[in-house]
Amino acid sequence: MDLLTLWTIRHRDEFHILMRDGILRADVDQVDKDFRLAYQWMGKQLAKKIEPPLGCVYPLWAWWRWQGGQHPRPDLRSSAHLPKGAPGVRIEFTIDLSEVLLSDFDAWHAVLNNHYYAPDEANYNTYLHIIKGKSEHEINKINQDSWRNIFISSLRDVDESISIQAVFWELKKSQISDVKFFRAR
């Protein structure tokens, strides 16, 4: 077993559900409508690794390294974890590596913004060369294929400077190691 310590930022209402039911899953109604396609894509990638619980389409999100290896735990003094003024909770928990999918948070924006993910300049220049003369449909396919490279495949030699997010299907009460309530700034 490879246990990871992760932190997830939730609304306090979700924490109460977790305490009441002993388990928390993503609530479809709470999923940001602007990012549904991107979140569904991420859910599909997670489903390739671990089968989702029945009816689960959207995963839960957490941080493994919020601001890189130096600041892995989300700082609650920072703004925008939740809408301003919202009652929140930072839940620290442990989970086996086999149950999560880790990805580079910055690279994840290629999926959110629907563009090509180029890890470096050389790759980007090759991309520009490849897409010459291609149709929009073909370019979209190339763009989407690049997204598989946003994932962290090995915990060894992970760049300390990058923010790494984690997705997983469910959080159990028994996994919790610490809880900190806050009001979003």
Partner 1 sequence: MEKNTMKHIIFIITAFFIGSGNIFAANLSYPGDCKASKLTKAAKKNGCSVEAGGEHWKVYKNGNVITTIPHSVKENNTCRAIIKTLNKEY
Minimum Å gap between C-beta 20 and partner 1 is 24
Which one among 5, 23, 52, 67 touches partner 1, defined by CB under 8 A?
67
Which one among 106, 131, 139, 149 touches partner 1, defined by CB under 8 A?
106
* Nearest-10 crossing angle of helices 136-146, 121-130: 150
Minimum Å gap between C-beta 139 and partner 1 is 13
d(CA 178, CA 93): 7
Report the Cα 151 to chain-centroid distance in Å: 10
Closer by beta carbon to partner 1, 50 or else 131: 131
Minimum Å gap between C-beta 22 and partner 1 is 26
The site that binds partner 1 (CB under 8 A) totals a number of residues, namely 24
144-163: contacts with partner 1 (CB under 8 A):
163
Cβ proximity of 76 and 41 under 8 Å: no
Cβ proximity of 68 and 162 under 8 Å: yes
Candidate segments 92-100, 109-117, 128-136, 175-183, binder of partner 1 by CB under 8 A: 109-117
Closer by beta carbon to partner 1, 110 or else 167: 110
Minimum Å gap between C-beta 62 and partner 1 is 12
Contacts of 33 (CB under 8 A, 6+ apart): none
d(CA 108, CA 152): 11
Report the Cα 61 to chain-centroid distance in Å: 5
Task: Report the residue count for the chain.
Answer: 185
Which one among 2, 32, 157, 160 touches partner 1, defined by CB under 8 A?
32
Cβ proximity of 123 and 23 under 8 Å: no
Contact footprint for partner 1 (CB under 8 A)? 32, 34-35, 67, 79-84, 105-107, 109-110, 112-113, 115-119, 124, 163
